[in-house]
């Protein structure tokens, strides 16, 4: 048993085996989610260089001759790493043996690459009819632009997310690779459903998603503004296009955020800032949205009289949703973050004890699980091959 496998002894997916052929972020994030849930995740990487995100930085940590990318650390906990050249007979043989033992295979090759390597869907299911395959692409497996490379920022632009983010006239990407992350999350949702289906049918299937699909999938009300109402959404900065007041405002010493989601909350908020809740421009949410600029000016005039913490305390007393805009370091220092298990310690073979962002899911009555550090390249070459030789 490998050192990492010792950690995969708890969780709803304990006993499941995942072969992770992915690299960069969308697929690795999906694999990490499965590892967090207790699955044994075996990451297959190219000899010599491995997942390209191992080279993404700075920041790097560790010795100069073996630098560790903090980017790679963000998406690869609870995995084992084996190296194999999938173009070689030896590499193909290793993958065959892994597929025969696996429950899930993750891949995010460009369309057609896996087929050319000799591992078409038909071949994979010949080797293991129960295998569930998650395939993540940039723009989908078919259609006129199926072959395009899937890079997050390109997809954010093509999928419309940048057009509704930031200030008017200044398209802005989301501050994390949100297309990659969402594709991984959607992919995990689909493959878990396929594993449940397999319990009834005895057969696995292919689950497909893409960065494009994931980003369009979260258009939410911005999508129906166009498809139903015929309005083209535009970026409006830090305020909500359909609710007011709902956004970022400036106090005397910094910014705070307020979310007024109904008229009762509006009346409570108005009392705090000294506005007349029945003022004709602001009496209902549609009116407040229509006169948003006037409303924002009135609120910021009131907020300018006192510091942020004064207003946050007053709003909390009134039951009005509000909050700070924290920097990333402040988030991880926040006791609420720590109380939710969102910061974990792992023992890395080169770096020693390091802290990583933790998993977003908790299960009642389950003890906090231990987590394994993201692996060094090829760290588990021997242990995984020994496991395959056991039968």
pTM equals 0.93
Residue-wise DSSP of 340-353 = TT-EEEEEETTTEE
Residue-wise DSSP of 131-155 = -EEEEEESS-SSSTTTT----HHHH
Domain-embedded: residue 332: no
Q: Of 326, 350, 378, which closes a domain?
A: 326
Do 188 and 84 fall within a single domain?
Answer: yes
Do 211 and 255 fall within a single domain?
Answer: no
Task: Return the pLDDT at 253.
Answer: 95
Do 11 and 49 fall within a single domain?
Answer: yes
> How many structural domains does the chain have?
2
Do 16 and 82 fall within a single domain?
Answer: yes
Do 154 and 303 fall within a single domain?
Answer: no
Average pLDDT estimate for 260-283: 97
SS3 content of the chain, % helix, strand, coil (to 5): 40, 15, 45
Task: Return the pLDDT at 369.
Answer: 86
Do 66 and 166 fall within a single domain?
Answer: yes
Do 96 and 39 fall within a single domain?
Answer: yes
Q: 239 has which bridge partners? A: 247
Whether omega before 58 lies within 30 degrees of 0, making that bond cis, reads yes
Domain of residue 371 covers 5-218+337-388
Residues 368-387: tens digit of each pLDDT: 889 999 999 999 999 999 99
pLDDT exceeds 80 at position 229: yes
Whether omega before 245 lies within 30 degrees of 0, making that bond cis, reads yes
pLDDT exceeds 60 at position 63: yes
Domain-embedded: residue 231: no
Residues 124-180: tens digit of each pLDDT: 999 999 999 999 999 999 999 998 888 999 999 999 999 999 999 999 999 999 999
Q: What is the CATH number of the domain that holds 273?
A: 3.30.1540.10
**Contact residues for 112 (Cβ-Cβ < 8 A; gap 6+):** 147
Mean pLDDT over the full length of the chain: 95
Q: What is d(CA 244, CA 295) in angstroms, rounded to the nearest whole number?
A: 8
Domain-embedded: residue 233: no
Q: What is d(CA 231, CA 346) in angstroms, rounded to the nearest whole number?
A: 49
Q: What is d(CA 310, CA 326) in angstroms, rounded to the nearest whole number?
A: 17
**Nearest to 157, CA basis, from 138, 144, 140:** 138
Annotated catalytic sites, by residue? 180
Average pLDDT estimate for 201-212: 97
Do 381 and 306 fall within a single domain?
Answer: no
In this structure, what token pair is assigned to residue 259? 């979310």
Q: What is d(CA 255, CA 251) in angstroms, rounded to the nearest whole number?
A: 6
Task: Return the pLDDT at 111.
Answer: 86
């Amino acid at each position: 048993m490998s050192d990492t496998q010792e950690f995969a002894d708890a969780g709803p997916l304990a006993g499941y085996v995942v072969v992770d052929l992915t690299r960069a972020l969308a697929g690795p994030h999906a694999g990490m989610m499965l590892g967090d849930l207790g699955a044994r995740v075996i990451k297959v990487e190219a000899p010599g260089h491995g997942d390209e995100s191992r080279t993404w930085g700075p920041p790097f940590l560790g010795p100069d001759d073996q630098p560790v990318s903090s980017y790679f650390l963000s998406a690869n906990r609870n995995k084992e790493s084996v190296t194999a050249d999938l173009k070689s007979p030896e590499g193909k043989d290793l993958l065959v043996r892994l597929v025969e033992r696996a429950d899930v295979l993750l891949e995010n090759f460009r369309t057609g690459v896996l087929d050319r390597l000799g591992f078409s869907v038909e071949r994979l299911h010949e080797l293991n009819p129960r295998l569930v395959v998650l395939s993540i692409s940039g723009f989908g497996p078919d259609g006129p632009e199926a072959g395009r490379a899937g890079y997050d920022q390109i997809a954010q632009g093509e999928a419309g997310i940048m057009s509704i983010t930031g200030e008017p006239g200044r398209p802005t990407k989301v501050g994390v690779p949100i297309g990659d992350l969402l594709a991984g999350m959607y992919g995990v949702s689909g493959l878990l459903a396929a594993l449940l289906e397999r319990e009834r049918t005895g057969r696995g299937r292919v689950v497909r998603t893409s960065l494009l699909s994931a980003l369009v999938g979260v258009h939410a009300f911005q999508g129906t503004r166009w498809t139903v109402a015929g309005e083209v959404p535009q970026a409006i900065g830090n305020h909500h296009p359909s609710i007011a007041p709902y956004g970022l405002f400036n106090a005397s010493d910094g910014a705070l955020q307020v979310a007024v989601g109904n008229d009762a909350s509006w009346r409570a908020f108005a009392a705090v800032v000294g506005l007349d809740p029945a003022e004709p421009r602001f009496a209902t949410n549609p009116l407040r949205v229509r006169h948003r600029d006037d409303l924002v000016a009135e609120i910021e005039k009131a907020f300018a009289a006192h510091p942020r913490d004064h207003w946050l305390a007053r709003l909390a007393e009134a039951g009005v949703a509000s909050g700070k805009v924290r920097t990333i370091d402040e988030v991880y220092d926040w006791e609420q973050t720590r109380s939710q298990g969102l910061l974990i310690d792992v023992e890395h073979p080169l770096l020693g004890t390091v802290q990583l962002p933790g998993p977003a899911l908790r299960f009642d009555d389950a003890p906090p699980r231990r987590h394994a550090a993201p692996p060094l390249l090829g760290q588990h070459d021997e242990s995984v091959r020994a496991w395959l030789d056991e039968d």
